[in-house]
Structure formats: C-alpha cells, structure tokens
Amino acid sequence: MKAVDVVATAFRNAFRSRLRTSLTVLAIFIGAFTLSLTNGLGTGINRYIDDTVASVGVDDVLTVTVTDDAFPTEGPAEYDPDQIEADGPPGATTTALTDDDLETVAGVDGVLAVEPVKAITTDYVQYDGGDRYQLGVAQFVPGMRAELASGRQVDLDAPGPELVLPEGHVEPLGLGTPVDAVGRTVVLAVTDGTGTQVTTEATVVGVAEPGVLSMGGAIPNDALAGTLYDLQTTGAPAAQAARYASASVTFDASAGPEAQQALVDRLADAGYTASTLEDQLGTLTSVIDAIVLVLNGFAVIALVAAGIGIVNTLFMAVQERTREVGLMKAMGLSSTRVFSLFSIEAVVIGLVGSALGVLAAIGVGQVVGGISGNLLPDLPGLTLIAFEPVTVAVVVLGVMGIAFLAGTLPALRAARQDPISSLRYE
C-alpha cells in the first residue's frame, strides 16, 4: 500500500463510527475554540496597546524618578519629608525630584534635555458662566499626539494658553459639537498656596477622542501649563514649589536600543529610575499575557481530555478491526504502515476538530469586533479579539500534534498485532 493510499484509507476510516468520532471531534473543538479565542483576545488588546504607543508618537523621552531603594512590604511606611504624591494608585508616593536632581540628570551622558513634570490639580472647568465640571490635566511632553475628533494639536510654543479638551466634556459644558467647541474660551480654576481659588482662561484648539492621553484629562500647551502651575504655587513655600514627582528626559532615539539601555543604566547608577511610555504600558501587557496564559491553561485541559477521547476512540477502532488488521498484515502490509494508518486517523480527527474550533472562534471574533465599539466606547480603534495567521496555524498544528501523540498507543497496539492471532479473533 502506497503512502497516498494509507492517507486516503485513514481519512475514510476516521469516520466509520460517526457518532463516536463526532463526540471526540466535539471535545477537540471546544479546546481549540477556547484556545483560539483567548489568544485572539490577548492579541487584540496587545495590538491596541502597541498602536496606542505608536499613535502617541513619543519614542525619545524617558520618564525619570528618584529610585526608592527601600519600601516596607509590611506595616506603614516611615515618614519621609522628601516623599510626595506620585502618579498611579491613590496613596502612591515617590521621592521628590529637586532642582539639584534636575541638574544631576542633565549632566548624565546621553541626556539632551530635562523638563520637570509639574503636577497640576484643577478645581473645575467652566464655559460662559455655565455649570462647573471637574477636569484633570494630562501630562504632556513634546512629540505626543492625541487622537482628535476635531481641531488641531496644541502648539507647545504658542504664547497664548491653549488646550485640547476631552470629547466627554464638550456637551456637558454646553459647547455643542466637537467642531463647535474649537475656538471657544473656557475658564479653569485652581487653588493656590494660600487656599484661595483663582481662575484663568484658555482657548480650546482641539477635541480629543477617548484614548490613553485624553483619559488623563485636558492637554495643555506650555503657556497654559505654566500659568496653572504658577497660580497653584502662589503663596506656597519656594522649597515646596520646586519639588516634582518625575521629569521628562529627551535622548537620541536614533542611536539604537543599546545606547538607550546604556543611558538607563547610567541614570540608575546616578540613583534614578528611567522608563519609556512603552515600558510603562508594557506592565499592562504583562498582566494581559498572564491572564491569557491562565485561560489557555483551561483550554489545554480541555484538549488533554479530548486526547483521552482520541485514545479511547482508536483503541475501540483497533479492537473492532482486529481481523482487518490481521488480513492487511497477512497480505504484506508492514507494521510501520499499520502504525501510520491509525496515527493518521488520530491526526485527521485533530485536524477536523481544531479547524472547526478555529473557524468558530474567528466567527465569534468578527461578531464581537463589530460590537466592541458599542461595548467599549471609550477605547476607539480597539479590536477586542484579533487573529494572526501564525497563531491560528500554531493552534491547528498544536492540536494535531496532541492528537498524534494520543493516537500513538492505539497505533502501536495495532502495529504489533500478530496476523495469525488477529485472523482468529472473534
């Protein structure tokens, strides 16, 4: 029997017992479907994060903070007058950067420029004497770009105060549509160092769609950020005003990743921790990958159970076709061909189950992708479940590999049968 004949026979024999084989295929289908869907979920979210990093457009800026060598794992932290509120979860603190720190960082080889990140806390935003609404101010560095619904990006060098307003504030403030909001003047209020609430005005030059930057609030230009910070620190002790949670360091990104890592190492030697925006979002990616890995574990358990089903199916097939196997061996079919015959049957079952599971997962992904915009309106451009050809192929081939391994024992049993004893089998 030629190799082609062995494959063709295996395809026919795989579904001789349709009900038993169909149930085994169903078990494989469930595992392959779950595995494909969880991988697609991880791919979709990670792709959105990568696209967000690319759209923000900053690859030559490091966020630098003072390295905290010791932080208690149990009990309250000891008071440190140099600790200030940090960006992150409520209650998070970091050692403040001072003007001396900024000079030290500026002197590190490879640093082109240093700008302190000034924390600004606004009380409210108001338009034309209307209702007042809370509004945060996003941290913004040169090179960042927000996804705009209308208008333009802020001009960091413009002498007048400008801001890009989050789209969610447009209608409540009474600005009409995002297009109508461009060019309007809004009032921003802050509380100064004496506890007095003071206000300033800014021109809306753009409206930002929901995204990573706009989640932080309005995006100011340097003139507006400077004005708000000066108003906020008026009356505060000079030493307290010159304290920053972090600083933005500009470097030459074209020098390559090795030069960037060397700069990070030099800053670390000087006592500072440096990270890019991609590094910071990479933490989120790691969490997503961990969740996907756990979900994939359940899918693998389903596939192992399906593999046991394949073993059972083929053992029964070998028993039912004992005389047939004996006849084939008596007619000269080698043990290797017999082994191949039953192994290929297992692979065929794995192929059918995995292909159907992957196709079903892709179909579900298309449906979810179509409605993800309604489910997550604050994340435009997110394809919740996305598939890559390589990943799909790996899932199919992996399931086929599991099926082959599961079919090894029944195939070996068939290959080792004695033709005389098999022909006598009743």
Give every CB contact of residue 219 below 8 A, 6+ residues apart in sequence.
Answer: 137, 138, 140, 144, 146, 154, 163, 164, 208, 213
136 by Cβ neighbours in 10 Å (0-12 / 13-18 / 19+) ranks as middle
pLDDT for position 247: 85
3-state class (DSSP) for residue 406: helix
Mean pLDDT, the chain, rounded, equals 80
What's the rounded Cα separation, in Å, for the pair 104 and 207? 38
CA count, 13 A, side-chain hemisphere, 201: 9
pLDDT category at 90 given cuts 50, 70, 90 is very low
Q: What would the mean pLDDT of 3-13 be, rounded to a whole number?
A: 70
What's the rounded Cα separation, in Å, for the pair 80 and 70? 12
CA count, 13 A, side-chain hemisphere, 121: 9
> pTM, whole model, 2 decimals?
0.59
Give every CB contact of residue 50 below 8 A, 6+ residues apart in sequence.
Answer: none
pLDDT for position 246: 83
CB atoms within 10 A of CB 404: 17
pLDDT for position 142: 64
pLDDT for position 379: 63
Of 354 and 244, more confident: 354
Q: CA nearest 399: which of 344, 357, 350, 341?
A: 350
pLDDT tens-digit readout, 100-156: 888 999 999 999 988 888 888 899 999 999 999 998 887 766 666 777 889 998 888
Q: What would the mean pLDDT of 237-243 be, rounded to a whole number?
A: 69
In the predicted structure, residue 239 carries a pLDDT above the cut 50: yes
Dihedral sign from CA coordinates of 363, 365, 370, 371: positive
In the predicted structure, residue 88 carries a pLDDT above the cut 80: no
- Can you tell me which residue has the tokens 């360091």? 249
